[in-house]
Chain A
Amino acid sequence: MSDRRLLGALGALLLVLFVASLAIGPAGEGFGASMRALFTGEGGPIVAVMREIRLPRALLGLMIGATLGLSGAALQGFLRNPLAEPGLIGISGSAALGAVIALQTGLAAAFLLALPLAALAGAVIAVAVLMALAGPRGTALTLILAGIAVSAFAGALTALVLNLSPNPYAAADIVFWMMGSLADRSMVQVWLALPFMLTGSVMLLSLGRGLDALTLGEDAAEAMGVNLARLRLVLVLGTAAVVGAGTAVAGAIGFVGLVVPHVLRPYTGGRPSRLMPASALGGAAMVLAADVAVRLIAPDRDLKLGVLTALVGAPFFLRLIWQTRRAGR
């Protein structure tokens, strides 16, 4: 499939899901009235519902899904490992730890940007540790094992910090940080995450050519003039920026960066430069679809988004391991 047709099809799907995300919610107002309220600002309380609740939710779903798909594709390209995914290998978990520390120390209340910055710092540490342990020359198994260790450590520290909080609700927040949710976010979170996500996305998309060269092996890539050290640095910072910002506002949402690049890879000829933009659109579609499903399945329950992505993603992951195992034999 040509790039234009693939991206066009994904874009159309994304548009439908974005409108669905704006239209579906417990308020139970008609589609026409809802859209009129959104654009004209007239129509009573539905205006606040559309502009303050649904719009930020749909925008965040779009942004977080796109960056998760993009960073998953970039990580898999760099590590040449189909199992690499920010949630699975502990980057999201470490970002959540950073965010929780910023919230519990009061830093986030004193200084608004402290929340995404702390999450970014957590993500940088995780990516750096993973690169050191299981860089391009590490096996798939090393990466997954390192990821399990990083995830477990970050998860334990997150639970520790939240359990020690004087706030009785903090411990209940553990579910949010581990599973993620877009419920009842506001435009504040959109503005908080947007600059980091834009910067990180531009950084990751700029790596396309280098990652393409890397598919031929490190020596070939260097011979083609790719600066591997610089590529690694940009990848680490770009991934940390998008995953950190997304986790800081919506918790850790897993498996998106795993499933989407894998589904789209056959249509992109296995070239990271083509896979990355497609995965961004596909990831946004997946998170928006999951977030609409969450609202349809249990409208009054705040079912966590990560529950759905994991229900889809975990069987997928098992299949991937099975394939990797057979290929390695």
Chain B
Amino acid sequence: MWGFARASDLIAVAVLAALSPVGGAALGDPAGRVALGDAGLRVSLADAGVRVSLADTGGGAVRSDTGGGVPAPARVVSINLCTDQLAMGLAAPGQLLSVSWLAADPRSSAMAAEAGRYRLNRRQAEEVYLMRPDLVLAGTFSDPAALALLRRLGLRVETFAPVTSLRGVRAAVLRMGRLLGREGAARAEVEKMDVALARLTPPKGLPEKTAALYYPNGYSPGGGTLANAILAAAGFRNLAARTGRTGAGTLPLERLVMAAPSVIVTSHPYPGASRAEAILRHPALREVEKTAKVVYSGPSWVCGTPEVVKAVAQMAAVR
């Protein structure tokens, strides 16, 4: 019964058991100590792997807003900027325990103020495990080692791929709703978003305008990206996608200067210097900016959440 699938599992469990309240060790973390008192934490080690289950958090289970069915997860931890925001927008009070520290950074996160109400994690498997979540939300590009470790420890991990279209935003919101047992709230969010987007759709027959996405190091998302979808929704053609390029990539400054787009979408520089951002102050770019409108893309451009409506509105305003 005490057999392990892999030696590495044993080591991982040993380390985590020594750190966790189960082992009787007093943990500096206040949340951990509270849980020690009233939570019936059972650790069962099965041959196939390791499963940790939480019998009762003392706070009562979160009820699904659709009523009935499977009980919704009660201790959700998110470790990805985008799942952070999707979860914060939909979770029931008390259901979401922790979001990643990036969610509290106003430069990356459209919900930085809300994130201040949650415990912030640094996306490490160890700290996530110690929060004893019953659902971990991550991105498909989250550290695979951390996700594999959490899965081996028996946690349920759900990953979200980066959203690349407005339809993808709807799908992500609805999926998050299902995972959190908040389908009703998710449907309402999607309806609200669709109404707002319909209002922003440019009238037919307008001449097509070109916008160039231009970020540090000349980074410029091509077709099949969320930024491309935002431009399209506001009636712009993406310069980087004009040559048929899809996905991530760079746009040579020369090509941008030659195309003379009517709008340049770029970002505000971060504090501290970087050679990557120096290109945004290049004299040739300054020359183009004399005739083009410059839009600064904020956090609403980063993630496939209902916040993208704000990004579309930003572009519609310069249409």
Interface set of A (CB-CB < 8 Å, partner B) = 25-29, 45-46, 48-49, 52-54, 103-104, 106, 108-109, 165-170, 172-173, 176-177, 183-184, 186-188, 299-302
Q: With A45-B260, A169-B270, A184-B282 in contact, do A27 and B254 touch (Cβ < 8 Å)?
A: yes
Docked Cα-Cα span, A172 to B283, in Å, equals 23
Whose C-beta in chain B lies nearest to the C-beta of A302? B250
Partner among A25, A49, A104 whose Cβ is within 8 Å of the Cβ of B273: A104
Docked Cα-Cα span, A81 to B314, in Å, equals 62
B217 touches A168 (CB 8 A): no
Partner among B251, B257, B274, B277 whose Cβ is within 8 Å of the Cβ of A48: B257
Instruction: List 29 A-B residue pairs with CB atoms under 8 Å apart, sorted by A's residue number.
Output: A26-B252, A26-B254, A28-B258, A45-B260, A49-B258, A52-B283, A52-B284, A52-B287, A53-B284, A103-B274, A166-B272, A167-B269, A167-B271, A167-B273, A169-B216, A170-B273, A172-B217, A173-B274, A173-B275, A173-B276, A177-B275, A183-B218, A184-B253, A184-B279, A186-B284, A300-B249, A300-B252, A301-B250, A302-B250
A290 to chain B, nearest CB (A): 18
In the complex, which residues of chain A have a beta carbon less than 8 angstroms from the beta carbon of B260?
45
Q: Which of B244-300 contact A (CB under 8 A)?
A: 245, 249-255, 257-258, 260, 269-277, 279, 282-284, 287-288
A27 touches B277 (CB 8 A): no
Partner among B218, B270, B272, B282 whose Cβ is within 8 Å of the Cβ of A186: B282
A302 touches B218 (CB 8 A): yes
A45 touches B252 (CB 8 A): no
Q: With A167-B273, A172-B217 in contact, do A53 and B258 touch (Cβ < 8 Å)?
A: no
A169 touches B277 (CB 8 A): yes
Partner among B250, B251, B276, B283 whose Cβ is within 8 Å of the Cβ of A187: B283
B250 touches A300 (CB 8 A): yes
A165 touches B284 (CB 8 A): no
A170 touches B272 (CB 8 A): yes
A113 to chain B, nearest CB (A): 16
Docked Cα-Cα span, A54 to B255, in Å, equals 12
In the complex, which residues of chain B have a beta carbon less than 8 angstroms from the beta carbon of A25?
252, 254
Docked Cα-Cα span, A54 to B257, in Å, equals 12
Docked Cα-Cα span, A169 to B219, in Å, equals 12
In the complex, which residues of chain B have a beta carbon less than 8 angstroms from the beta carbon of A167?
269-274, 277
In the complex, which residues of chain B have a beta carbon less than 8 angstroms from the beta carbon of A187?
283
Partner among B216, B245, B271 whose Cβ is within 8 Å of the Cβ of A300: B245
A53 touches B217 (CB 8 A): no
Partner among A29, A165, A177, A302 whose Cβ is within 8 Å of the Cβ of B217: A302
Docked Cα-Cα span, A109 to B287, in Å, equals 22
A95 to chain B, nearest CB (A): 14
Q: A28-B258, A103-B275, A165-B272 are in contact. List 15 more A-B contacts (CB 8 A).
A: A26-B252, A27-B255, A103-B273, A165-B274, A166-B271, A167-B269, A167-B270, A167-B271, A167-B274, A169-B216, A169-B270, A172-B217, A172-B274, A184-B279, A300-B249
B259 to chain A, nearest CB (A): 8
Q: Which of B148-185 contact A (CB under 8 A)?
A: none
Docked Cα-Cα span, A301 to B220, in Å, equals 11
In the complex, which residues of chain B have a beta carbon less than 8 angstroms from the beta carbon of A166?
270-272
* Contact mask for chain B residues 211-254; partner A; CB cutoff 8 A; 1 contact, 0 none: 00000111000000000000000000000000001000111111
Whose C-beta in chain A lies nearest to the C-beta of B267? A169
Partner among A53, A108, A165, A188 whose Cβ is within 8 Å of the Cβ of B257: A53
In the complex, which residues of chain B have a beta carbon less than 8 angstroms from the beta carbon of A26?
252, 254-255
Q: Which of B185-219 contact A (CB under 8 A)?
A: 216-218
Docked Cα-Cα span, A288 to B6, in Å, equals 55
Partner among A28, A49, A299 whose Cβ is within 8 Å of the Cβ of B284: A49
B13 to chain A, nearest CB (A): 32
B276 touches A169 (CB 8 A): yes
A170 touches B284 (CB 8 A): no
Whose C-beta in chain B lies nearest to the C-beta of A164? B272
Q: Which of B94-116 contact A (CB under 8 A)?
A: none
In the complex, which residues of chain B have a beta carbon less than 8 angstroms from the beta carbon of A177?
275
In the complex, which residues of chain A have a beta carbon less than 8 angstroms from the beta carbon of B253?
53, 184
A176 touches B283 (CB 8 A): no
Partner among B258, B282, B287 whose Cβ is within 8 Å of the Cβ of A27: B258
A211 to chain B, nearest CB (A): 35
A184 touches B218 (CB 8 A): yes
Q: Which of B60-99 contact A (CB under 8 A)?
A: none
B113 to chain A, nearest CB (A): 21
Docked Cα-Cα span, A48 to B258, in Å, equals 9
5 pairs of A and B residues whose beta carbons are closest in the complex: A167-B272, A169-B276, A52-B284, A169-B274, A27-B254
Whose C-beta in chain A lies nearest to the C-beta of B249? A300
Whose C-beta in chain B lies nearest to the C-beta of A105? B273
A169 touches B284 (CB 8 A): no
B220 to chain A, nearest CB (A): 10
In the complex, which residues of chain B have a beta carbon less than 8 angstroms from the beta carbon of A52?
282-284, 287
Docked Cα-Cα span, A300 to B243, in Å, equals 11
A244 to chain B, nearest CB (A): 16
B254 touches A53 (CB 8 A): yes
